[in-house]
Amino acid sequence: MTTIRLSNDLRPLGKSEILVSPIAWGMWRLAGETAPVRVMIDAALGAGINLFDTADIYGCDVPAGFGSAEALFGRALAEDRSLRAKMVIATKAGIRPGIPYNSSADYLADALDASLTRMAIEQVDLYQIHRRDFLTHPQEVAEALTRMIDAGKVRSIGVSNYSVHEFAALQAFLGQPIVSTQPEFSPLQTAPLFDGTLDQAMMHDVAVMAWSPLGGGRLAQGDHPAATLLAEQGARYDVDAATATLAWIMAHPARIIPIVGSQTPARIAASADAHKVEWTRSEWYAVLQAGMGVSLP
């Protein structure tokens, strides 16, 4: 029986020349002290992960507040400047509590400079609009992003939580390709399979970065039918359910990059084994149907 096998090799980030790992490490839960963060960074790099994803809003739900995840990451980088060359750093802007969205040109310019300052870096490899601002014309957004690239502050552009039409509208005003899109995707959140997000990505060679790949942790442990199947599949390859879930996401032909959000170094390191898991079509579809709670026609 034909099986789907995964690769652990670096690949281009969409149409850019930036090479990224098949798994990313995300910092939406990053908080605390610098020393543990450095251990997490080392665990990610040791697992072959070079794509590090953050956002200016990360940390908004902890006492340190807005921007604190970027600042904490920046302090860890400052302790060893050699780390920067090993990383592809992605961040996002456009969400601001109480507004809630702002992608105006002036706001984005200030937000980028603030992110660079917090992380103590001169350039972001991937700058993403976090969510669509309905009150800003996509042409204004495109012009702001283009100025960032021309100034050398940003290498490539991506979007997060964008519909296919929002993506197309922004791309229409850009002179360079949008290289990535970041939807929520897991066996419990399958909308990108059906709303055109993954089809558009494959059509235009756009990298897909999946946030919340473990369904908010429900697939790593618990009694959901999909979690049970994933645990069984993982056991066949001597990995846990969380790692098998990453492999399930990576098996899609869009070559989806799951963003691991764990703050546990051992859990981050374990993600490196995702490429060991193989899938038959029947196994993969069984997880999909279990996650959806319905049978496909």
The tens digit of pLDDT for each residue in 46-94 reads: 999 999 999 999 999 999 999 999 999 999 999 999 999 999 999 999 9
> Do residues 54 and 30 make contact, with C-beta atoms less than 8 angstroms apart?
yes
DSSP-based three-state secondary structure for 2:
coil
Question: What one-letter code names the amino acid at 265?
Answer: P
**Under a CB-based contact definition with an 8 Å cutoff, are residues 23 and 186 in contact?**
no
Distances (CA, A) of 9 to 19, 49, 149, 151: 9, 10, 27, 31
pTM: 0.97
The fraction of the chain above a pLDDT of 70, given in percent, is: 100
DSSP for residue 274 = G
Cα–Cα distance for residue pair 227/232, rounded to 1 Å: 9
Omega prior to 297 cis, within 30 of 0 = no
Over 90: is that where the pLDDT of 31 sits? yes
Beta strands at 19-20 and 11-12: parallel, antiparallel or unpaired: antiparallel
Q: pLDDT tens digit string along 215-238?
A: 999 999 888 999 999 999 999 999
Residue 155 confidence (pLDDT): 98
pLDDT of residue 164: 98
Report the mean per-residue pLDDT for the chain. Answer: 97
Contact 209, 53 (CB under 8 A): yes
Separation in Å, CA 27 to CA 70, 241, 263: 8, 21, 8
Alpha helices in the chain (DSSP H): 34-46, 68-78, 105-119, 138-150, 164-171, 191-194, 197-204, 225-236, 241-250, 265-270, 281-292
Cα angle at 50 between 126 and 284, to 5 degrees?
A: 95
**Is 80 exceeded by the pLDDT of residue 187?**
yes
Q: What integer is the mean pLDDT of 257-271?
A: 97
pLDDT at 222: 81
Residue 1: its pLDDT value, please?
A: 62
Question: Which residues are catalytically annotated?
Answer: 58
Q: Is residue 274 within 8 Å of 245, Cβ to Cβ?
A: no
Cα–Cα distance for residue pair 112/154, rounded to 1 Å: 9
Task: Give the chain's radius of gyration (CA, Å).
Answer: 19
- Residue found under tokens 């050699």: 82
pLDDT > 90: what percent of the chain?
A: 98
- For residue 124, list its beta bridge partners: 154
CA 267 to CA 217: how far, in whole Å? 12
